[in-house]
Every structure is written in structure tokens, then in C-alpha cells.
Amino acid sequence: MTMPSAADAGLVGCERCGATVALPGPGRSARCGRCHCPVHARRPRSLEQSLAWLVAGVICYVPANALPVMYTSGVGGEHDSTIMSGVLGFWRAGSWGIALVIFLASVAVPATKFAGLGVLLWTVQTGRAGHARERAKLYRTIELVGYWSMLDVAVVGLTAALLQFDALGHAEPRIGIAFFCATVVFTMLSALSFDQRLIWDKSPHHVGI
């Protein structure tokens, strides 16, 4: 048995505060009576905006991994470090936990976000109706891990700050970290631009499920 949606009843929920608002007529806009934010049955051009931010993030991800993210100098010499060389350096030094955290935050998480957002955009664009609950959980997971995506930037900043107090070493960020920051910001904007209500448009809502 299929349950009617709020849109079928002429209602829409405010994405900011959750208040229920009557849908405006064709060609008209509406604002939430509680927080005065614009409300839409579905966010205009959500898929296009989300895809554009995702593509921008993927483009920046390439130089973020190929270019150095940090320069260090000390008794061991001078060298520029990329994300992966930094992971390998910590691993060889026996700091396996730090190496694993940086790898997850800087390599695995962005790649997973790219794949997850790509799946969501593709399934909505093609009108896929199945596994709506799983896709909704995927979107919430992408939102959650996005808050940890700047961990590698924090590690670089902390390392550089600590070495400034050490007379035997010096560190400073390189251009790669700027591309990585852009990757994180663009993927977060992609997730925020995606209207998750689109996931349910083609999916029947069954009573008792």
C-alpha cells in the first residue's frame, strides 16, 4: 500500500527549521513562516549544482595528490612531501596509527565521497527507485564524514607549527594543501547542494516499512 506524500497534500517542509509550509502556486515562491527562508518542493537545479561542485572537487583532487603539501628541512635534509609520501614516511617511522589516519582522511574518505555522490546523482538522474533507504543512509554518511575531511590540513598545520619551535627543523605548507582544501570544500558544497528528497520521488512508501 502506497502512502501519499506531503507534496500530494500541498505541503512542504522547510529545510532549515522543519516547519510545514503550504506549497505556492505555479510560478510563485514561498517563505517559511517561522524562519523566513525560501521553501521549495524540490530545490531548483539541485542535480546540476551538485554535479558541478563534484566535478570541481575531482579536478582539484588530482593536483592535491600529485603536488607537495609540505616542505620540511632539518638534520635529515630538505624535501617536499606529497600526501602519499607523508603516509609512507610515518609508516616507515613506525607511526602506523598516524599513517592510517592520514591515509583514511586524505585518500580513502575523499575517494569514497566522490563515489558515493556519483552514485546518488546517477540513481536520481536515471530515476532509479530501488534501495531508497540505503541511498538515504549513504547521503547521511557522506555528510557525517565530511566534517573529518580537513584532518590532513590540520596535521600539516600542526606539524609546521611544532617545527617552528625546534631549532633543528623547519616546515611550511606547499601548494598541494591548497588544492586539497579546495577538494574538501567543493565536495561539501556538492553534498549540501544535493536535495536528498529527490531520492524518494520514485520510491513507493509502504505502510509498516
User: Does residue 88 sit in helix, strand or coil?
Assistant: helix
What is the spatial order of strands in the sheet that 77-81 belongs to?
77-81, 70-74, 169-173
- Rounded to two decimals, what is the model's pTM? 0.76
Residue ranges of domains in the chain, CATH in brackets: 1-41 (no CATH), 45-200 (1.20.140)
Give 29-88 pLDDT, tens digit per residue: 678 878 888 877 777 788 999 999 999 999 999 999 899 887 777 655 677 788 888 788
* Separation between Cα atoms, residue 106 and residue 149, nearest integer Å: 7
Q: What value does the mean pLDDT take over residues 6-26?
A: 73
Tell me the mean pLDDT in the region 103-129. 86
Give the pLDDT mean for 159-185: 73
DSSP 79: E
